[in-house]
């Protein structure tokens, strides 16, 4: 790959070649299509039109030279209705000529090699124009996030989804699916669970699954972008025809919106699948990817390359892309993978431009500090710079590591670690060192990365009984679900999800088989799993019903929440005069004397205990016994 690092940072280059138009790509109308591509250093650019979307098939319709205009944009207008026609660009730079896909492609043929001209309106489901954002005002702290992989959701036969739709977008459109014993699954299950947002792992076009060989076993999480503005074809029923993936993704989103469930898109703008072959880098050599001083690719992502977000046309591309998904697909949120590799200016521009039209869209991501060759004068969008991105939230590894222990490094609060009470208070009240306010912390204990919660507990406490492990799981959920911030659930955590292969616990299942990754819906027919799911369901409802858990600012928390250590591994939080929350992580029962806290029988009710999270139980004694490894929540009832 040719590197032009010095050229691209030169003020003259930036001024001369920064293009701010909103018409890059193929702009279709029935009468004509206008193609525009930014290639400032190219000697020639040609447009090739094809009948077929499969790269390598010899079906060229025509090939025409494009004209270079201002800011390095090449243009060609082609008369006639090109809807459904595929295209590529032939770009010649100083020492290389390449046939490439359009970085602004809206859809492609199989495996994302050829872009397709598309009448986007023709892909809209019935009543798509009425699929407006859900009407109630939304604070970030109103959200309850549920992270899920599209294939995991329905690939198991116990999902009840029709065979043709298993592992596909359309699985989310099927109603009335059930386990073999008649328990609701999939869409009906998500609706019943009560989540507000479904966070879907990458569903743009990614490179690790061969869409031409879907009959072969293949699996990947999808954190390897190829075409950022194109739906992944392996989740469609037909990856060979570009319009199908667009139609079916929209059908999925519409079905979820019809159930009151918002959709969050997992996006990976921090690196690409292969920097050398990525279309943007082939068109403008090396421009999209950050370089070290020796010309090698910066690799803070540990995926071979980092995105140079501080470059104006890279920033524009990312901002345009996110706005496109929000506008065209009605996305309700975006989760950014390794957002710490992007700069804060880019992140703020993304958020601000989207919020102009879609004020309820939420933004959050992984704000880990990673080594990257970002230009001087820019700040990475990490936890420690959270104050610089006030409308962007970050995952809290503080609460994750507190509750279950650092990955591979022993116990956490719920599994027996001692002397954690002060850190529990900081995490619960969103007062960790980097967090400016509750609206900027995503509270979780497990996600697709690393071990599932149940696996982490099994590894940490191998001697513990199944019943004790369940207690730990439920206590962890109760803490992050009632803590100030944004709660985040890993799909299947509420079903005690484990990932095993040949008796071995799998930590990183990014390319493991379906047998490791799938949601086992049949577990809902087993009482011991169903009871845990009901506990999570109760916690979700309790959080949604109690607005005092939704404080967005540090000031609200400071003025309304008090904390007290009751005993070793037993802590109490009082929120206004409405809630008293007690977490007992010890292996001993704790006798809570209500009189010491001015609690009068009849004025308060138990809403959450060790067994259930959906009750209103009268308090019968002046002293309440709180079982070991459990939660007790009291609510003022007058």
Q: Within 10 A of 498 (CB to CB), how many other CB atoms are there?
A: 17
Q: What are phi and psi of 477, to 5 degrees?
A: -60, -45
Q: What are phi and psi of 312, to 5 degrees?
A: -55, -40
Give the residue from 94, 196, 185, 59 showing the smallest Cα distance to 136. Answer: 196
Instruction: Output the domain CATH number for residue 267.
Output: 3.20.20.80
Is 556 domain-assigned?
Answer: no
Q: Are residues 114 and 171 in the same domain?
A: no
Q: Are residues 503 and 590 in the same domain?
A: no
Give the residue from 633, 607, 604 showing the smallest Cα distance to 620. Answer: 604
Where a domain ends, among 123, 155, 170?
A: 123
Length, in residues, of the chain: 638
Q: Are residues 580 and 441 in the same domain?
A: no
366 a catalytic residue: yes
Residue whose pair of structure tokens reads 């800011």 in the numeric block: 71
Contact at 8 Å (CB) between 396 and 404?
no
pLDDT at 1: 43
Cα 74 to the chain's mean position, in Å?
Answer: 35
Contact at 8 Å (CB) between 231 and 181?
no
Q: Which of 152, 332, 366, 494 is catalytic?
A: 366
Q: Are residues 157 and 74 in the same domain?
A: no
Distances (CA, A) of 458 to 408, 452, 469, 497: 12, 10, 7, 12
Q: Are residues 90 and 235 in the same domain?
A: no
Give the residue from 422, 425, 424, 428 showing the smallest Cα distance to 441. Answer: 428
Is 131 domain-assigned?
Answer: no
Where a domain ends, among 530, 550, 570?
A: 550
3-state secondary structure 473-531: HHHHHHHHHHCCCEEEEECCHHHCCCCEECCEECCCCCCCCHHHHCCCHHHHHCHHHHH
Where a domain ends, among 79, 96, 123?
A: 123
Strand partners, 363: 334
Q: Are residues 275 and 225 in the same domain?
A: yes
Q: Whole-angstrom Cα distance, residue 561 to residue 579?
A: 10
Q: Are strands 145-148 and 197-200 parallel, antiparallel or unpaired?
A: parallel
Q: Which of 266, 337, 343, 455 is catalytic?
A: 337
Strand partners, 608: 633
Q: What are phi and psi of 435, to 5 degrees?
A: -90, 115
Instruction: Output the domain CATH number for residue 44.
Output: 2.60.40.10
Q: Are residues 454 and 480 in the same domain?
A: yes
Q: Are residues 67 and 205 in the same domain?
A: no
> Which string of DSSP letters, residue by residue, matches 4-17?
-HHHHH-HHHHHHH
Q: Are residues 195 and 93 in the same domain?
A: no
Q: Angle at the Cα of 617 (from 615 to 623), degrees rounded to 5?
A: 130
Q: Are strands 441-443 and 393-395 parallel, antiparallel or unpaired?
A: parallel
Is 342 domain-assigned?
Answer: yes
Q: Are residues 527 and 632 in the same domain?
A: no
The helix/strand/coil state of 127 is coil
Q: Are residues 320 and 346 in the same domain?
A: yes
Q: Are strands 393-395 and 362-365 parallel, antiparallel or unpaired?
A: parallel
Residue 562 carries which DSSP code? E
* Total count of domains within the chain: 3
Q: Are residues 543 and 603 in the same domain?
A: no
46 a catalytic residue: no
Q: Which domain holds residue 84?
A: 5-123
Q: Whole-angstrom Cα distance, residue 379 to residue 391?
A: 16
- Residue ranges for the chain with pLDDT beneath 70: 1-5, 132-137, 600-601
Strand partners, 48: 63, 88
Is 24 domain-assigned?
Answer: yes
Helical ranges in 22-117 per DSSP H: none
């Amino acid at each position: 790959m040719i590197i032009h690092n010095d050229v691209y940072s030169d003020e003259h280059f930036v001024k001369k070649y920064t293009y701010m138009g909103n018409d890059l790509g193929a702009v279709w109308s029935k009468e004509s299509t206008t193609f525009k591509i930014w290639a400032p250093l190219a000697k020639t650019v040609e447009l090739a039109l094809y009948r077929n979307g499969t790269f390598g098939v010899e079906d060229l319709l025509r090939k025409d030279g494009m004209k270079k205009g201002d800011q390095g944009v090449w243009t060609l207008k082609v008369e006639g209705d090109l809807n459904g026609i595929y295209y590529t660009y032939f770009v010649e730079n100083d020492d290389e000529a390449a046939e490439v896909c359009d970085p602004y492609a809206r859809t492609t043929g199989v495996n994302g090699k050829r872009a397709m001209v598309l009448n986007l309106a023709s892909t809209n489901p019935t009543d798509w124009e009425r699929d407006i954002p859900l009407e109630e005002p939304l604070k970030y702290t109103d959200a309850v996030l549920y992270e899920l992989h599209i294939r995991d959701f329905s690939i198991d036969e116990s999902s009840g989804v029709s065979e043709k739709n298993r592992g596909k977008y359309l699985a989310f459109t099927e109603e009335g699916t059930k386990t073999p014993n008649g328990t609701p699954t999939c869409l009906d299950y998500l609706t019943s669970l009560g989540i507000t947002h479904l966070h879907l792992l990458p569903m743009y076009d990614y490179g690790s699954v061969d869409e031409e060989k879907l009959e072969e076993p293949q699996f990947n999480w999808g954190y390897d972008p190829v075409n950022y503005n194109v739906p992944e074809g392996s989740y469609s029923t037909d990856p060979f025809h570009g319009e199908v993936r667009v139609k079916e993704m929209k059908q999925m989103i519409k079905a979820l919106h019809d159930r009151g469930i918002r959709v969050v898109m997992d996006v990976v703008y921090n690196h690409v699948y292969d920097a050398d072959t990525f279309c943007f880098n082939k068109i403008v050599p090396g421009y999209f990817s950050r370089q070290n001083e020796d010309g090698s690719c910066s690799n803070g992502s540990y995926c071979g390359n980092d995105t140079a977000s501080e470059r104006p046309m890279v920033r524009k591309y990312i901002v345009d892309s996110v706005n496109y998904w929000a506008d065209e697909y009605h996305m309700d949120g975006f989760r950014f993978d390794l957002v710490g590799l992007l700069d804060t200016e880019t992140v703020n521009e993304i958020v601000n431009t989207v919020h102009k039209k879609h004020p309820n869209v939420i933004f959050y991501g992984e704000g880990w500090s990673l080594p990257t060759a970002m230009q001087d004068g820019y700040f990475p969008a990490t936890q420690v710079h959270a104050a610089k991105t006030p409308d962007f939230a970050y995952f809290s590894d503080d609460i994750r590591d507190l509750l279950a222990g650092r990955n591979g490094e022993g116990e956490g609060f719920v599994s027996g670690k001692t002397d954690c009470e002060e850190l529990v208070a900081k995490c619960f009240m969103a007062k960790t060192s980097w967090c400016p306010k509750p609206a900027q912390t995503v509270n979780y204990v497990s996600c697709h990365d690393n071990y599932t919660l149940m696996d982490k507990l099994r590894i940490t406490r191998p001697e513990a009984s199944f019943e004790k492990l369940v207690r730990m799981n439920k206590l962890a959920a109760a803490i992050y679900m009632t803590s100030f911030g944004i709660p985040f659930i890993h799909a299947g955590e509420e079903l005690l999800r484990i990932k095993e292969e040949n008796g071995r616990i799998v930590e990183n299942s990014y390319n493991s088989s379906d047998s490791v990754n799938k949601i086992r819906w049949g577990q809902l027919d087993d009482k011991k799993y169903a009871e845990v799911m009901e506990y999570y369901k109760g916690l979700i409802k309790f959080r949604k019903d109690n607005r005092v858990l939704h404080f967005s600012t540090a000031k609200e928390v400071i003025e309304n929440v008090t904390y007290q250590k009751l005993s070793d591994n037993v802590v109490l939080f009082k929120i206004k005069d409405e809630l008293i929350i007690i977490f007992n992580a010890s292996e001993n029962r704790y006798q809570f004397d209500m009189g010491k806290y001015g609690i009068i029988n009849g004025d308060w009710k138990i809403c959450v205990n060790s067994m259930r999270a959906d009750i209103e139980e009268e308090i019968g004694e002046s002293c309440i016994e709180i079982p070991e490894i459990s939660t007790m929540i009291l609510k003022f009832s007058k």
